[in-house]
A and B are shown apart, each in its own frame.
Chain A
Amino acid sequence: GIQVEQSPPDLILQEGANSTLRCNFSDSVNNLQWFHQNPWGQLINLFYIPSGTKQNGRLSATTVATERYSLLYISSSQTTDSGVYFCAVEQGSGTASKLTFGTGTRLQVTL
C-alpha cells in the first residue's frame, strides 16, 4: 500500500515563530487532507488539498502532486497550535475516502 512519511516527528517553537511541516507520499493520490489533533485528542480537519495551495488564516498548505509531497505552513504560531498534525491520503476513487495516515508531527508551542 501507499506509504506516508511526515517530518519532522517533533517540533518545539516559541510563540510567534513560523514553521513548515512536510508530508511525503509514495504514489499518486486523489485525496490529501491535513488534520490537527489537539491536546485533548480531538481531530480537526484543516485542509482538503490533493493539489495546489490553500490558505486559512495563519495556516496554509501546498501540495505538489507530481513530486508527491505536501507542506503545511504555520505562521506566527500560538500556544493553541500545539498538538499533533497528521497528513492523510487516498489513492482510490475519492468517494469512499479510505485514508492512509502518516505518523504525525508533534508540535509544542511555548511562551
Chain B
Amino acid sequence: DAGITQSPRHKVTETGTPVTLRCHQTENHRYMYWYRQDPGHGLRLIHYSYGVKDTDKGEVSDGYSVSRSKTEDFLLTLESATSSQTSVYFCAISDYHRGGYEQYFGPGTRLTVT
C-alpha cells in the first residue's frame, strides 16, 4: 500500500461544469501521475508531476489541467467537462523499488459527464 487516496471516488456532473479530482499521498513521493482508463485503450497518461509546482503533459492532456502546490496533493481539473471525459481516473506515484522505478496506483475515481 503506497498510501494513495483519491477523492471523490464517484462523481456525476453535467457537461460544461468544472470538476476537480484530488490525489493525496502520505509518503513524500516526488513523482505523481494522472491516467484515464477507457475500454479498448488501457490506461493513458494525462499529466504528471516531478515536484511541487513542476508538471508536464502526457499523451492525452487536452481539456485537462493540473496543479501541485504541496508534495502530498496532485489535483486534476476539467475546466469544462465534456461527455468524452467520462472515464475512470487513476492517480499513481513512482517509487524506486526492486531495482527500478515502479508505479503504484490509487483506487480510482469514476467520473460520468451527462
Other-chain residue from B33, B45, B101 in contact with A95 (beta carbon distance below 8 A): B101
Inter-subunit contact A45/B101 (CB<8 Å): no
Other-chain residue from A48, A86, A99 in contact with B99 (beta carbon distance below 8 A): A48
Q: Is the interface of B mostly helix, strand, loop or mixed?
A: strand
Inter-subunit contact B103/A99 (CB<8 Å): yes
**Chain-A contact segment, one of B14-22, B63-71, B74-82, B104-112:** B104-112
A18 to B99, CA, bound (A): 28
Q: Is the interface of A mostly helix, strand, loop or mixed?
A: loop
**Of listed A1, A45, A100, A104, residue having the most chain B CB within 10 A:** A45
Other-chain residue from A41, A88, A96, A101 in contact with B107 (beta carbon distance below 8 A): A41
Inter-subunit contact B105/A43 (CB<8 Å): yes
Q: Tell me the smallest distance from the CB of A30 to a CB of chain B, in Å.
A: 8
Counting CB contacts under 8 A, is A76 at the interface?
A: no
Inter-subunit contact A101/B31 (CB<8 Å): no
Range class of the A interface residue count: 20 to 34
Q: Tell me the smallest distance from the CB of A34 to a CB of chain B, in Å.
A: 10
Residues of B within 8 A of A94 (CB): 100-101
A43 to B42, CA, bound (A): 12
Q: Tell me the smallest distance from the CB of B68 to a CB of chain A, in Å.
A: 14
Residues of A within 8 A of B108 (CB): 41-43
Inter-subunit contact A98/B42 (CB<8 Å): no
Inter-subunit contact B31/A99 (CB<8 Å): no
Inter-subunit contact A45/B42 (CB<8 Å): no
Other-chain residue from B58, B102, B107 in contact with A33 (beta carbon distance below 8 A): B102
Q: What residues make up the interface of A, taking CB atoms closer than 8 Å to B?
A: 1, 4, 31, 33, 35, 41-43, 45, 48, 50, 86, 88, 94-104
Q: What residues make up the interface of B, taking CB atoms closer than 8 Å to A?
A: 31, 33, 40-45, 48, 50, 58-59, 88, 90, 94, 97-105, 107-108
